[in-house]
Amino acid sequence: MSGENLVFISPSDPPRAWEAAFRGLAPEIGFTVSRGDFAEGTHADWAVVWKPPPGALARLSGLKCVFSLGAGVDHVLGDPQFPAVPLARVVDPYLTAGMSEYVVLHVLAHHRGLFRNLARQAEGHWSPFAAKRADDTRVGILGLGEMGLDAARKLKPFGYQIAGWSQTRKDEPVVESFAGTGELGAFLARTDILVCLLPLTPATRGIINSSTLALLPESASVINAARGGHVIESDLIAALDDGHIAGVTLDVFQTEPLPPDSPFWSHPKVAITPHMASLTDPRSTAITMVESMARIRAGGRPLYEVELTRGY
């Protein structure tokens, strides 16, 4: 393994923290921070990436695996020149826990009218909001992978009625499982607070649109902590403006950073966070990546390998 090197490309993850994590675990692997502007044939054994420039990975030679710095891999698979090497995504207890914290925080905020209350406070209005009972409140989670299931389990103690929608049915006691396009309508019709945690794939792009929003009950709320591409933004604004949707939390957007002229910034029913629902922890995630490298050297596959045709 001596002489191996790793290239790290990310416009947003802290390179020094990642370098320190790899130096501590695998000091023999060279660590290079790059913008991805490689000369053709640059040697790299490993690439650890978030939004690498299209075509950058294809210029590397000797690549054994690409590691996404996030749970999602759409930022890599959008590259038409993605090389024929294994791709691994992040599955990590701290990333999962961070997402569940965010989901619990915002489900509670919508259920208890927090954003409405803060707006009344800003106007100097004393205007109590009577929240429904939690056990009369139906939360629906789009995407029942690692994160969706963890969020469901952490929401359950509050008493919510929890359902989830996924491609295949899940056998999990805390959620009522809906599966496949045939059951999407029934899932939406019983959902007061919709949480999107889906991977972004051709099948899920634009899944939150005027037709699906119309299937939610009157005054439903929407929380998107997955990808901006899941939402047709103009449809969401229209559903907020006509009063069908009562409130929204958005962590992700079609264009990031969110452009200054986006109507979301100043919309009274929208809470915005800057793609920070959950951040990948270098110390714990590097352990999994180093373990995957050992498996590949031994002729195996990386942990949490992405099925390229499925996109997650």
Query: Catalytic site residues?
Result: 227, 275
Nearest-CA neighbor of 49 among 99, 98, 22, 11? Answer: 11
Calculate ∠ Cα 285-288-291, nearest 5°: 150
Distance CA 135, CA 172 (A): 19
Q: By C-beta, is 34 or 280 nearer to ligand OXD?
A: 280
- Closest distance of CB 183 from ligand OXD, Å: 26
Residue 4 tokens read as 């191996």
- Closest distance of CB 236 from ligand OXD, Å: 19
- Closest distance of CB 224 from ligand OXD, Å: 11
- Closest distance of CB 90 from ligand OXD, Å: 6
- Closest distance of CB 116 from ligand OXD, Å: 28
Q: By C-beta, is 71 or 286 nearer to ligand OXD?
A: 71
DSSP annotation string for 36-72: S-PPTTEE-SEEEESSPPTTTGGGEES--EEEESSS-
Sheet with 65-68, side-by-side order of all strands: 30-33, 5-9, 46-49, 65-68, 87-88
Q: By C-beta, is 12 or 234 nearer to ligand OXD?
A: 12
Q: By C-beta, is 48 or 216 nearer to ligand OXD?
A: 48
For 31, phi and psi rounded to 5 degrees? -120, 120
Residues in the chain: 312
Residues that bind ligand OXD (CB under 6 A): 70-72, 90, 280
The count of C-alpha atoms lying within 13 angstroms of the C-alpha of 196, restricted to the half-sphere facing its C-beta, is 30
Q: Which H helix or E strand runs over 30?
A: strand 30-33
Question: Which residue carries 């939150």 as its tokens?
Answer: 208
Residue 255 CB neighbours (<10 A): 9
Residue 5 CB neighbours (<10 A): 14
Q: By C-beta, is 90 or 239 nearer to ligand OXD?
A: 90
CA 2 to chain CA centroid, nearest Å: 35
- Closest distance of CB 62 from ligand OXD, Å: 26
Residue nearest to ligand OXD (CB): 70
Distance CA 98, CA 103 (A): 9
Q: By C-beta, is 46 or 312 nearer to ligand OXD?
A: 312
Q: Which H helix or E strand runs over 110?
A: helix 93-111
